[in-house]
Amino acid sequence: MVCCTSGERTNGENPWTIIGYDETSDIRTPLYIDMAFALSNKYAPGVKQIINQHGNFEEVVWEQMKKLVKYLRGKGRRVDGIGLASTHRYRLGKRQRVM
């Protein structure tokens, strides 16, 4: 798999997409996602296989995640669940903290 240093990442873009996309997929799945699940299924069979969404909670995003899981499972990849990660900002007095 391709790896990069922080110096190779620009404008907040995902450097892994340089590997390409499955253009036959209706959701244009990045190949690195399939590769990651293929490798983790093979070399870590006793570990839960979770795909993580960190970002938006909008319904359209979750529909895409469900399509992604269906795509991966259709290729024979084991996906045990969907994870959720987020950053919440809240104000305490004049300070702003990030959780």
Query: What would the pLDDT profile of 33-73 be if each residue is shown by its tens digit?
Result: 999 999 999 999 999 999 988 777 788 888 889 999 999 99
Length of the chain: 99
Selection from 4, 57, 68, 80 nearest residue 33 by Cα: 68
User: Is the pLDDT at 99 greater than 60, yes or no?
Assistant: no
Q: Which residue has the higher pLDDT, 38 or 14?
A: 38
**This prediction's pTM:** 0.71
Residue 92 CA to residue 73 CA, distance in Å, equals 44
Residue 89 CA to residue 70 CA, distance in Å, equals 33
Q: Is 68 exposed, middle or buried (0-12, 13-18, 19+ CB in 10 A)?
A: buried
Q: In the structure encoding, which two tokens stand for residue 56, read together?
A: 């938006």
Contact 55, 39 (CB under 8 A): no
pLDDT of residue 47: 95
pLDDT of residue 57: 72
Residue 87 CA to residue 54 CA, distance in Å, equals 9
